[in-house]
A and B are shown apart, each in its own frame.
Chain A
């Protein structure tokens, strides 16, 4: 597997596409700002959301039990999955036991996290992703590159080529209206025939034992109201105490995500329709472990709006695939080391720590601080590459020996002046895409000593 830096280097080879990706996401971020500024109580809402989530996490075992009890009373079957494997097995069993052949799936980052599609494929079962962006990447056999805008890395042309190949649309017709219409016809055929629908969960309500699914396209509803079995998959952190708290979260979610005042459909499921089966799979997959880490438990407050992606200068210029995980971007870089610290040790370093992510986060997660903390954990655990380890050890030694530090600074400035090629070369990773600064004659320390008495 390529590291973030290696994969990002691939992505930015196409300079024009990098600029376009950067600008498109910044445009979404700007729409978020407009929507946020439209509500004088925005900061108050963020405080409430953050506090409601803190409260819920502090009482999560109680809320889980209450949710299960109320959902059962509503006629919903509740399943518990310790990890991705068990989540996939539960769904596979439902499919087998009911003799299901036609499965539609609405967007769920949890099923991506669990690699459900691959698992079912492996057992000879095909699922159709029905969110337009997800369907596009599914046809191309790619993972989504963004949690809200799964095909944001693709241009019209790419979609047109893909649809020409699989849906036989007119070659070279890049009109989004035309392409969407083709997908509409194609997917409607799958909806009306579907026997089992899988959806995600945006919020689950402990008090009422129901859950909310938000989409703009209406694809979750088309599937769930057609199929005789509806399976909803959720990480346990999706719980909120009461329905009235939805008022806070639904106001924040899309304004933060795309700048819309609300999604087109915010659907509240409480009971299966007559003759239908409704199932909920509650997944842990490392979440209880993250809950037990005081430095990182805040990440479980995330409502997956992707505001932190859209604002991140690194994400915008490196593309979602460079994060090699289901949830990319700043929040993914906090969640993924919890899932596999070794495989994802590079991610907390894929950040400038500028803090922009924390500033836009609707539930006030201290994202950049957690990234910085992960770096320390990862270095302490020895999961950084040899080069980084060596230079960090060197730096550590240098910083703890002040005389040596001052001497090294002097030598560095000296060499940068008389022999700049010694730093401006390929061996120095800082020289990539950067000119090294002109060296000052004296260090800040020297300047300070000289000027202190003035």
Chain B
């Protein structure tokens, strides 16, 4: 017999009597009076920065403000050809990216995480390899907890998606927190009101 059959057979023989799944009742989980304020508080605490903006014009102005030497990738207003180019870039090319602008789909107030799938990332590697990540999110896309988040997202709609909470970090050297381990050295969340 193959290992597959052996494992499945042993699992079936050894598994205990059937136990039902619990009912997960969202009425018993925490909620927040002001979702944006809570999100802001937690994301700042875990090393992110939150900025507010109201109109598209200020977003465009911010994106245009980078110096010409910086290698900025903007997936938010890029055209089809631009997006196709980003998608084709390899690790060595992406390694040089200074700033990447990506749209988040949903924010979670309890932990400051933002959900993004690969359609928004364009290239799966981009939000991880860039030096600085800027995420744009609409304020009405913030939900209280992870339970609420999973009600809204379809994890397998695309081949890859991630909750990203703040910049890359480590505390592996004597528990000292260092921001910027392998991935982005900063995460700026542009919250659109």
Which A positions have Cβ atoms within 8 angstroms of B? Answer: 24, 27-28, 39-41, 44, 47-48, 51-52, 54-55, 57-61, 64-65, 74, 80-82, 86, 130-133, 136, 149-152, 154-156, 159, 176-177, 179-181, 183-184, 187-188, 191-192, 205, 208-210, 216-219, 221-222, 225-226, 236, 241, 243-244, 246-248, 250-251, 258, 260-273, 282, 284, 288-289, 291-292, 294, 297
Contact = CB atoms under 8 A, between A and B. Distances in A.
Q: Lowest 8 A-B CB distances belong to which pairs? A: A271-B159, A292-B14, A218-B183, A261-B111, A133-B172, A288-B10, A217-B181, A61-B12
A214 to B, nearest CB: 9
Mostly, the B contact residues are: loop
Contacts of A216: 168-171, 181
A265 B182 contact: no
Interface stretch (B21-29, B77-85, B98-106): B21-29
B-side interface size class: 35 or more
Interface of B: 2-4, 6-8, 10-22, 24, 28-30, 42, 46, 91-92, 95, 108, 110-113, 118, 124-125, 128-129, 145-147, 149-151, 155-156, 158-176, 178, 180-184
A57 B4 CA distance: 17
A264 B24 contact: no
B176 A176 contact: yes
Contacts of A219: 181-182
Contacts of A183: 181
A60 B2 CA distance: 18
Contact of B15 (A52, A57, A187): A57
A191 B129 CA distance: 10
Given A217-B169, A261-B110, 16 more contacts: A57-B15, A59-B18, A60-B11, A133-B172, A136-B172, A159-B173, A208-B155, A216-B169, A219-B182, A221-B124, A222-B128, A243-B150, A243-B156, A244-B147, A251-B147, A262-B113
A264 B182 contact: no
B162 A221 contact: yes
Contacts of B171: 149, 216, 258
Given A132-B172, A136-B172, A80 B159 contact: no
Nearest to B15: A60
Residue from B28, B29, B112, B181 having most chain A Cβ neighbours under 10 A = B181
A58 B11 contact: no
Residue from B7, B46, B108 having most chain A Cβ neighbours under 10 A = B7
14 contacts: A39-B30, A48-B22, A55-B21, A133-B172, A176-B174, A216-B169, A217-B182, A219-B181, A243-B155, A264-B166, A268-B156, A270-B158, A271-B160, A284-B6
